[in-house]
A and B are shown apart, each in its own frame.
Chain A
Amino acid sequence: MIFPIELAGWLVFVIPVIGALLTPVFGKIHDTLRDAMAVLVGFATAFVAVDMGLDLLFNPRVLDLSLLKWTVVGSTAIEFGVLIDPLSVLLACIAGGIGSLIILYSIGYMTGHDEDGHVIKDPSLTRYYFFMQFFVAGMILLVMSNNLLMTFIGWEIVGMCSYALIGFWHQVEAPSPVPEYATEGEYNAVCGMKAFMVTRVGDIGLLAGIVLLFFMTGTFNYTEILATAPTWIAGLTAFTTWLLPIVAILIFAGPIGKSAQFPLHIWLPEAMAGPTTVSALIHAAAMVKAGVYLVARIVPLFIEIAIDVAGLIVFFQVVAWIGAITAFMAATMAMVQDEIKKVLAYSTISQLGYMFMALGATGLVAESVAAYSAGAFHLLAHAVFKALLFLAAGSVLHAVQSKSMNDMGGLGRDMKITAVTFTFGALALSGVPPFIGFFSKELIFEALWHGHQYILFIMAFVTAILTAFYTFRMLGMTFFGEKSDHVKEMESHGHPIHESPLVMTLPLMILAFAALVGGFFEGYFFNFFTPIGEGLTHAFDWSHLPVFPIGITTLFTAVVLVVGIVPSYFIYFKGKGDFSGLRNGPLGKFLENRWYINAIFNRIFVDGYLWVSNGLKNRLEAGLLKLSGNVAEGMDDVSKGWRKTMTGVLNTNVLGMMMGIIAFLLILMFL
């Protein structure tokens, strides 16, 4: 389109990198200049990404461009380049497009008012904008990369930025929400660290998997892995054939961590400690989508390889089941959360589980492309409605100054735009037609049902009911029903609930519109994705896919909506029935404590590790050092003896001793 696509593939992540690097410079000049530049960079990135997207929409194709010789080992050159295909461009559009809306929204969100109504800006905004832009850059680098190693680099940049951004408010002096830490700031810092460490666990598997795969295939490049598949598969030994599925699962460990799947889902709820904009970026545009992207990227390769290496089916089963378990588990946890952002966090984990369920099913069902399209379309749908929900939630937090839904209620009257847009997001999340979530969830149902994966289908079905329930619970507790005491108190102190400024509501309206009409572009989406899977022997024919099919699964969706929404409506909108006994009972506690998984892991991997380390230090190392010290003590006595007989200056003795040894050895050598 406007930019030559070869150039756009690089520009799209170079622009935000430059923006990030310029942020401290501009910050020195003027605050407003820095903020304006960040917004400008955000939209420039989005523009380039969308430009590429349109180009591919009219002319679907795949371009693999290698440019930079990163390093050379022996005669093996490791070259870096970009891969421009529908998948990478879609993700770049999501990261750039939603990222730019989030940065725009930040302008409003990251400022507050003091007692006299003066605008106060967060003093660390330079740091904030630096990492926000770098985050977007890392995410786009990750998706545009044409090889696994460069993807890993972007992957870690994203992790590093999330660490910095989740712990962004590390100086807040308010009391900590959990008793272990002194202040909220310290708690935030801990959450950032937890996110980095837990995702790092997955990254270990990913890096090990990448390097092992490199020596099996001889390349990091996605296209080459596929193109040379017959050659390198023929070269596999019995051992490496056995190893290949394990390597595939090691690689999947990365997405498990990054996309917060069981058992590494534990970091994501804590990631809510960061500013809401950061949560939106992590959950909708970047980070958690990275894992889904990587799986979507390698699934077509592995489908092809699985024809020759039958053991690889295990990989698809692992992906699908991890997804199914996570989807169900996180949905149950979401039902009892009292913080609005926590509900959204668990719902993200759950929805990501759906995507993995669909992507894993590609290797299990006959019509792979149906499952693949479902996963990819749900990725897009979720990006839209989850960004919307987070930003609308941020607008609520900004007005109410509390995270808890018990402090909200009845806000719909005072914040009309926020309430309507949030409702759009909630309807999309629950899968109500004609919102985008209906179409994507319907695709997943169909792929599982027609692929005869009935157990997975039941998991997806039950999870969808839970999703509809907790979504309406959240909607009811926030915007409908009676106003809470907290709100009334605020109003009586002369702080009436008010709508957020236009910089914040504009992104909401854009996203709400997308959530409403996005689903109707399903056909274009399939058309756009046609080049994915080209050249595979396995059927991966996008033209097979029926657009907007009405069938048995539509009936299931209707059941889901009725069973999920109706009770939720009566309990949380109308305030009928008292369920506090159930809520405070063993099941409620079990869910509230997140199935106790977090506590168990903490006990084993944090406390246990520190216990072993301290034991090593106090027993083994102390003993070793003492032993060595005794030897030195003996030497000290020797030197004291010398001191008497010789010059008395210790260092001269040592010098002499050295010379003596060297002379001795020289004599030994030459005589």
Chain B
Amino acid sequence: MQLFTLPILSEYPMILTLLGLIAGGLLTLLVGQKSEKGGQAMAALSLLGGLFLNILLVLQIWNGATVFHDIVWLGNPSNPIMTLGFLGDGLSAAVAILILGLGLFSVLFSFVYMKKVENPGLYYSLMVWFVAAMVGVVYATNLMQFFIFYELMLIPAFILVYLYGVSEDAQERSRNALQFWVWTALGGLISLLATFILFGATGTMDIAVLYTSPLAVSTAQTIGIIFLLGFGIKLGLVPLHVWAPPVYREAPMPVLVLLSGAMTKTAAYGVIRIVIPIVWTAMETFTTGLMTIAIITMFYGAMLAIAQKDLKMMLAYSSISQLGYLMFGYSTMTLMGLSGAAFQLINHGILASLTFFCAGALKMKTGTLEFDKLGGLAPKMPILASIYILGALALAGTPPLSAFAGEWMIFAGAAQLATSANASVILVILTVLGVVATGLTAGYYLWSIRRIFLGPIRDGFEQVTDPPKIILGIIAILAIIVVVLGVWPWLLWRFMNPVLSGLLGGG
């Protein structure tokens, strides 16, 4: 049963989203040359349109249905070499809405944060195209299509960082941007290599067909490791995270939201959509190793976060640490752990963006993000302070906020392994260590709250006020989502659970 449909729009929501965003980006570029306001409006409208189409999509798949379209792209129609497919199910629609929503909020945030930006048409169109490419990844039903979009998204991301980076020095900007590009493009290429091996072994690139294609264990293991290496770079697993700190430092806040909140999630999505169903059963021998890498990432990120002197970099390392949780969930290879990781994928997208937006607003109002220069701001900016504290507690895994709903499942996945037939002391220790990481997270977030918002107010900040309404609106909406999903995760879970059960069953 479909709850609500509109002719044509409901029929092809995904294709229309992509086309709309590409065209919208173009219009943004053109209109933006003439007027900044026009460009802003076009960008926001394109993303809003995409969001609307995806909400229509969600209404269609309300009861577990899926929407699928394909277009023959290469070869003759009866025996296509390659098709462009678009799959809308509970998982892809949820991730697409996350990406589009964050895109829209980043653009809205830019209205006030990136005021008088140089060449607004280019800036806003790149934002739209960046989102378009990421959404393209999410819908893909075909490995080639997946990786084309996966690499395409780097182009706008790279240009955004290069042109609009925060460093004054162009040399510095180009170095940081290039470093980012080289690493992540490399990550994509490595994954592509695995795709070719997979194609060689099975003769197909269609993801759904690959789910049921038989694979030799050794081939599956090779493919799995290469895939994880590729996706691991983009996820920023330690020590493959080295590209992240420079680009996070460089990127302006709205771009950073998309990089951390959305772009890294495409890799996490790739792991769920491609790696787990296709090769996971062969990967079981690596469970302990993968869990160890995830734990190292969680701890390393958390320890570096507490050592930072600057809120933006603390959040950047926090992001690295939090993505370790996703890998921890995946590497348990249980439905429980995988479910937790998938849920956390959405949660972290929301929460990372929430904290980055707060940091951006703080920077706007105080001009600095260095802990030593901040202090006592809670009475001056009560709404921002409350929402930041909420976000920080959520990221630290405090119920009843959303991240807990995902985190406990991730740890439960590990616990399931630690109490299963082939349990070992090491698995028990890894489970406990995973939970310890939430304590470390609480440590650096609470310390940041204390240093920014509590205690005596610093000189020069007497006149600081809450940020403009548009920013407050954005962070308030995100905060409400965090609370609602935390109190009743089933709202989101009802879409994702059937898909995930299917994916793991089909391996």
The reply to whether B456 and A73 form a contact with Cβ atoms under 8 Å apart is: no
Which of A163, A628, A639 neighbours the largest number of chain B CB atoms within 10 Å of its CB?
A628
**What's the nearest-Cβ distance from chain A to residue B124, in Å?**
16
Q: A33 in the interface, Cβ–Cβ < 8 Å?
A: no
Contact status of A153 and B183, CB under 8 A, knowing A74-B501, A207-B435: no
CA distance A62 to B501 in the complex (A): 36
**What's the nearest-Cβ distance from chain B to residue A156, in Å?**
5
Interface stretch (choices A48-56, A181-189, A312-320, A354-362) = A181-189
The reply to whether A240 and B303 form a contact with Cβ atoms under 8 Å apart is: no
The reply to whether B178 and A658 form a contact with Cβ atoms under 8 Å apart is: no
Interface residues on B, range: 35 or more
Contact status of A237 and B446, CB under 8 A, knowing A72-B490, A170-B454, A617-B304: no
Q: A167 in the interface, Cβ–Cβ < 8 Å?
A: yes
The reply to whether B411 and A200 form a contact with Cβ atoms under 8 Å apart is: no
Complex interface: chain A residues within 8 A of B376 (CB): 171, 185
Complex interface: chain B residues within 8 A of A662 (CB): 148, 151
Contact status of A625 and B245, CB under 8 A, knowing A69-B490, A156-B399, A239-B423: yes
Contact status of A185 and B408, CB under 8 A, knowing A171-B376, A193-B447, A240-B419: no
CA distance A310 to B333 in the complex (A): 33
CA distance A163 to B339 in the complex (A): 31
**What's the nearest-Cβ distance from chain A to residue B171, in Å?**
8
Which of A182, A662, A668 neighbours the largest number of chain B CB atoms within 10 Å of its CB?
A662
CA distance A93 to B201 in the complex (A): 67
Contact status of A613 and B455, CB under 8 A, knowing A629-B246, A654-B158: no
Complex interface: chain A residues within 8 A of B163 (CB): 651
CA distance A214 to B414 in the complex (A): 12
Complex interface: chain A residues within 8 A of B439 (CB): 197, 200-201, 203-204
The reply to whether B144 and A632 form a contact with Cβ atoms under 8 Å apart is: no
The reply to whether A658 and B155 form a contact with Cβ atoms under 8 Å apart is: yes
CA distance A631 to B488 in the complex (A): 47
Contact status of A636 and B497, CB under 8 A, knowing A211-B411, A662-B151: no
Chain A minimum-CB-distance residue to B410: A211
Complex interface: chain A residues within 8 A of B399 (CB): 152-153, 156-157
Complex interface: chain B residues within 8 A of A485 (CB): none
Instruction: Tell which of A212, A239, A636 touches B178, judged by Cβ atoms closer than 8 Å.
Output: A636
CA distance A218 to B228 in the complex (A): 32
Complex interface: chain B residues within 8 A of A153 (CB): 399-400, 404
Q: B108 in the interface, Cβ–Cβ < 8 Å?
A: no
CA distance A662 to B378 in the complex (A): 51
The reply to whether B151 and A658 form a contact with Cβ atoms under 8 Å apart is: yes
**What's the nearest-Cβ distance from chain B to residue A636, in Å?**
6
The reply to whether B175 and A193 form a contact with Cβ atoms under 8 Å apart is: no
CB interface residues, A 626-671, toward B, < 8 Å: 627-629, 631-633, 635-636, 639, 650-651, 654-655, 658, 661-662, 665, 668-670
Q: B443 in the interface, Cβ–Cβ < 8 Å?
A: yes
Q: A149 in the interface, Cβ–Cβ < 8 Å?
A: yes
CA distance A609 to B440 in the complex (A): 10
Instruction: Tell which of B304, B421, B494, B497 touches A621, judged by Cβ atoms closer than 8 Å.
Output: B304
Annotate A5-41 by CB proximity to B: 1 below 8 A, 0 otherwise.
0000000000000000000000000000000000000
The reply to whether A650 and B489 form a contact with Cβ atoms under 8 Å apart is: no
Chain A minimum-CB-distance residue to B393: A160
The reply to whether B175 and A633 form a contact with Cβ atoms under 8 Å apart is: yes
The reply to whether A669 and B455 form a contact with Cβ atoms under 8 Å apart is: no
Q: B306 in the interface, Cβ–Cβ < 8 Å?
A: yes
The reply to whether B182 and A173 form a contact with Cβ atoms under 8 Å apart is: no
CA distance A612 to B456 in the complex (A): 29
Q: B154 in the interface, Cβ–Cβ < 8 Å?
A: yes
CA distance A314 to B339 in the complex (A): 35
Complex interface: chain A residues within 8 A of B167 (CB): none
Complex interface: chain A residues within 8 A of B242 (CB): 624-625, 627-628
Chain A minimum-CB-distance residue to B179: A632
Instruction: Tell which of A186, A250, A651, A661 touches B158, judged by Cβ atoms closer than 8 Å.
Output: A651
CA distance A153 to B399 in the complex (A): 5
Q: B450 in the interface, Cβ–Cβ < 8 Å?
A: yes
CB interface residues, A 227-272, toward B, < 8 Å: 237, 239-240, 243, 246, 250
Chain A minimum-CB-distance residue to B303: A613
Q: B465 in the interface, Cβ–Cβ < 8 Å?
A: no
Q: A190 in the interface, Cβ–Cβ < 8 Å?
A: yes
CB interface residues, B 151-167, toward A, < 8 Å: 151-152, 154-155, 158-159, 162-163
Contact status of A185 and B442, CB under 8 A, knowing A75-B501, A157-B399, A243-B419: no
The reply to whether B304 and A613 form a contact with Cβ atoms under 8 Å apart is: yes
Complex interface: chain A residues within 8 A of B159 (CB): 651, 654
Complex interface: chain A residues within 8 A of B447 (CB): 193
Instruction: Tell which of A196, A214, A240 touches B423, judged by Cβ atoms closer than 8 Å.
Output: A240
CA distance A308 to B346 in the complex (A): 43
Annotate A43-78 by CB proximity to B: 1 below 8 A, 0 otherwise.
000000000000000000000000011111111000
Complex interface: chain B residues within 8 A of A74 (CB): 335-336, 339, 497, 501
CA distance A170 to B450 in the complex (A): 9
Contact status of A669 and B196, CB under 8 A, knowing A237-B423, A632-B178, A654-B158: yes
The reply to whether B412 and A215 form a contact with Cβ atoms under 8 Å apart is: yes
CA distance A160 to B74 in the complex (A): 57
**What's the nearest-Cβ distance from chain A to residue B212, in Å?**
20
Instruction: Tell which of A68, A73, A205, A654 touches B155, judged by Cβ atoms closer than 8 Å.
Output: A654
The reply to whether B335 and A182 form a contact with Cβ atoms under 8 Å apart is: no
The reply to whether A160 and B398 form a contact with Cβ atoms under 8 Å apart is: yes
Chain B minimum-CB-distance residue to A240: B419
Q: A545 in the interface, Cβ–Cβ < 8 Å?
A: no
The reply to whether A204 and B436 form a contact with Cβ atoms under 8 Å apart is: yes
Annotate B360-380 by CB proximity to A: 1 below 8 A, 0 otherwise.
000000000000000010110
Q: B66 in the interface, Cβ–Cβ < 8 Å?
A: no
Known A71-B493, A616-B300, A628-B246; further 17 A-B contacts with Cβ < 8 A: A71-B405, A160-B398, A170-B455, A183-B456, A190-B450, A197-B442, A200-B439, A204-B432, A208-B432, A215-B419, A243-B418, A610-B307, A628-B183, A629-B179, A629-B246, A632-B179, A670-B81
Q: Which 7 A-B pairs have the closest CB atoms?
A: A632-B179, A628-B242, A186-B455, A189-B454, A211-B415, A617-B307, A153-B399
> Which residues from chain A sit less than 8 Å from chain B, CB to CB?
68-75, 149, 152-153, 156-157, 159-160, 163, 167, 170-171, 173, 181-183, 185-186, 189-190, 193, 196-197, 200-201, 203-205, 207-208, 211-212, 214-216, 237, 239-240, 243, 246, 250, 609-610, 612-614, 616-617, 621, 624-625, 627-629, 631-633, 635-636, 639, 650-651, 654-655, 658, 661-662, 665, 668-670
Question: Would you give 16 A-B contacts (Cβ < 8 Å), ordered by A?
Answer: A71-B405, A149-B408, A171-B379, A182-B455, A182-B456, A204-B435, A204-B436, A207-B408, A208-B415, A211-B408, A243-B418, A621-B304, A627-B242, A629-B175, A636-B178, A639-B178
